[in-house]
Amino acid sequence: MATTQQAFTVDHQPVADPGRRSATIVGWMFVLTYVTSISAKVWFYPPLFDGNYVTGPGADSRVLWGAFAEAILIIANIGSATALYTVVKHRYPNLGLSFIAARIMESVFIGVGILAVLTVVTLRQDYAAANEQATAGLATVGDAFLAMQHWTFNLGPQFVVGVGNGCILGWMMFRTGLVPRRLAVLGLIGGPLIVASGSAAVLHLIEPGGAVQSLSAAPEFFWELGFGIYLVVKGFKYNALTTTPPQS
């Protein structure tokens, strides 16, 4: 009797959602990318771009914390892509690898931007020890590195993000139905918009960081934030995980 009861208990255990753990990891990684990217801009953009950072009193600690936040952003970027690949690799292996590649490329641009920012901090610290003839040159070099950071932002978190997080990720989620398709549509809309605005900014057709570029980033912003929050709260749709659509 005991054996029969034990078999009954084992046979009727609830089936765990196989994608819940992966969904939680991906979701929190996306939330972390959101938090760290915003934090970095809040910390180091005002002091860096006030026009007097290298020759002024500076705010080194604040800028360094911003650079540290972007370093965490790189980890979250690559972590989210690799965790998501474990879910989509049997359905869309090529697109899954493409998303990882896009995340790595974005992270490369972010890393170059971090190096540019840290170089400017070093220039500011060396400014006090420089003679009067060298100070003008240090300020000019500092402006050049800040311009480099500006361009890495347009090419990485703007252009590449539109391709990876918008077009590739949005298409995978729309096709698989792992998240509500109306949410994935935001990525399919926001991706091309942010690619177009990033391209226009690089070609000087619009003002980089201006109102047009900011407005065009809105759908992508809500797509990434909504995607992360949905996965943390709801997880992937179980029915979508148990179906096998054609591979791409």
Model confidence pLDDT, tens digit, residues 33-43:
989 998 888 88
214 falls within a domain:
yes
For the record, the structure tokens of 237 come out as 């749709």
The model scores a pTM over 0.95: no
9 falls within a domain:
no
7 falls within a domain:
no
188 falls within a domain:
yes
246 falls within a domain:
no
Q: Model confidence at 85, in pLDDT bands (50, 70, 90)?
A: very high
Domain count, the chain: 1
> Of all residues in the chain, what percent carry a pLDDT higher than 90?
45
194 falls within a domain:
yes
Model confidence pLDDT, tens digit, residues 168-193:
999 999 998 999 999 999 999 999 99
214 pLDDT above the threshold of 90: no
244 falls within a domain:
no
Host domain of residue 68: 19-238
211 falls within a domain:
yes
DSSP string, the chain: -HHHHHHHHHHTPPPP-TTHHHHHHHHHHHHHHHHHHHHHHHHHHHHHTSS-TTTS---HHHHHHHHHHHHHHHHHHHHHHHHHHHHHTTT-HHHHHHHHHHHHHHHHHHHHHHHHHHHHHHHHHHHTTS-HHHHHHHHHHHHHHHHHHHHHHIIIIIIIHIIIIIIIHHHHHHHH-SS-HHHHHHHHHHHHHHHHHHHHHHTTSS-TTSHHHHHHTHHHHHHHHHHHHHHHHT-S-HHHHT--PPP-
